[in-house]
A and B are shown apart, each in its own frame.
Chain A
Amino acid sequence: MSKLLTRRKFIAGAAAASILAGCDSHPIKGFLGAMKDWNQGFESAIFLPSRMAPELPPSSATPEAAFPAYFISDEMPDVPDNWSLTVGGLVDHPMTLTLDQLRKLPGTAMCVRHHCVEGWSAVAAWHGVRLSDVAKLASLRAGVRYVEFKSFDEGYWSSWDLGSAMHPQTLLAYGMNGHDLAVGHGAPLRLYSAVKLGYKMVKYLTEVNFLATNTGGYWENQGYDWFGGV
């Protein structure tokens, strides 16, 4: 994967990092690095694919103005013309899906609590397609272990373990609280899951790639834990 960073992206990233983290990051080595690896093993060991996050009544949704919406670009990313989602990697049927095509797939909705790495929580209903259903359509080949998500929020991406990605509460979401996704929440399509921390749920999606290798992520490469489960 190309990790060529332009100066502008670097500055934008550093600015966003200082908003979220309050400071630039440091590489994690030695004792803390070893414990971070250990904890990541612990996190994936206690992840149960069958464990469902409790669904909440839509009336418990957080007022949308109070639901934070982060992005890393200089300005809130606007939907590109002719937007579509590319599904690729180790699949038998690579696809390009328009929003209309995604909406025609069997959809689902869930109202769950959102957990941010910063410590806050908020509640919203999300509407979309289960990622596992899209994976079935694409037909994964043997050897897929990770799923990579790319966005048009300049330089933002993440990658997940396959188990969390195939969880029934992991959606490619095009709606929130009964309406289309707002620009701040990742329009036209974002990843949303009840089993990950917020920074794992890539907004402004452009690509979903099923891969054999772990390709890190925007925050993950700056030191946040890669598994990021809740």
Chain B
Amino acid sequence: MPESHDPRFKGRSEQPLAIRLVHWCNAVFIVLMAGSGLQILAAYPSLGPRGAQYWWYPFQGMSPPSWMRLGAWLGGGRHWHFAIAWFFAINGAIYLGYVFLSGEWRRRMFIPWRDAGGALLQFMYYLRLRKTPPPEDFYNGLQRLAYTSVVFFGLVMVLSGLAIYKPVQLHFLTLLFGGYDGARVVHLGGLALIAMFVASHLVLVAMHPREIVTMVTGGRHE
């Protein structure tokens, strides 16, 4: 990726060690959380309370395929999910702490007034409505939007997951998501958004395989 124009990043590697560690741990945790979450979903693969299932959900009663599931049965899926949830959440907290304390947020996070225009132009470039991509500064605007959004999705997953896990003890959280069944909708919707992120992430990485090396070695120093 292009160098950052920001002199604060002189001498720093493209992907500092903390980012690389958190990234690869997160890749493992997301797979485990998704698999065990789908195992839990399979016990009641519907949205909405009994007797008032949501009319708009097109997959009522449809279980996720067994190859996507982890844990073999509902209890096993719960054990995996509630075990890895801690690691997923703590890993996310380490990422946020590092990104803000190190100043990395300046070249990674989406700042609307700085990045919105670039994100739009990059999107038009991908749609072939523009011949050339807009100039990049470490990341382009669309990358920043994607990487910032997925961190937000992760936070929503932790909070909506807690709301489902303890809908009485953490009732204030459950209310925030429109109640227990609302929190299940948000939690499954969050999985869908994260899955879409991962799919496009993998496509783009396949188109720029050097970035895999960078995410392992850290890349060049700026």
**Residues of A that sit less than 8 Å from B by CB:** 20-26, 28, 31-32, 35-36, 38-39, 43, 46-48, 51, 53-54, 62-63, 65-68, 113, 115-123, 194-195, 222-225, 229-230
Contacts and interface: CB of A to CB of B under 8 A. Distances in A.
A36 B79 CA distance: 6
B166 interface: yes
Nearest to A53: B168
Interface of B: 40-44, 46, 49-52, 72-76, 78-80, 82-83, 86, 166-171, 180-181, 184
Contacts of A43: 166
Nearest to B79: A32
B23 to A, nearest CB: 22
Given A46-B169, A46-B170, A194-B168, 4 more contacts: A26-B76, A32-B83, A36-B83, A223-B76
B75 A222 contact: yes
B166 A119 contact: no
A214 B91 CA distance: 35
Contacts of B170: 46
Contact of A22 (B43, B46, B83, B168): B43
Contact of A230 (B42, B49, B169): B169
A191 B76 CA distance: 26
> Secondary structure at chain B's binding surface: helix, strand, loop or mixed?
helix
A223 B75 CA distance: 6
A165 to B, nearest CB: 15
B44 A119 contact: yes
Contacts of B43: 20-22, 117-119
B76 A120 contact: no
A23 B83 contact: no
Contact of B82 (A22, A35, A113): A35
B168 to A, nearest CB: 4
B50 A118 contact: no
A74 B72 CA distance: 25
- Ranked nearest first, the 5 interchain pairs of A and B with the lowest CB-CB distance are A66-B51, A35-B83, A23-B73, A119-B44, A118-B43
Given A62-B49, A62-B52, A121 B181 contact: yes
Contact of B78 (A26, A68, A225): A225
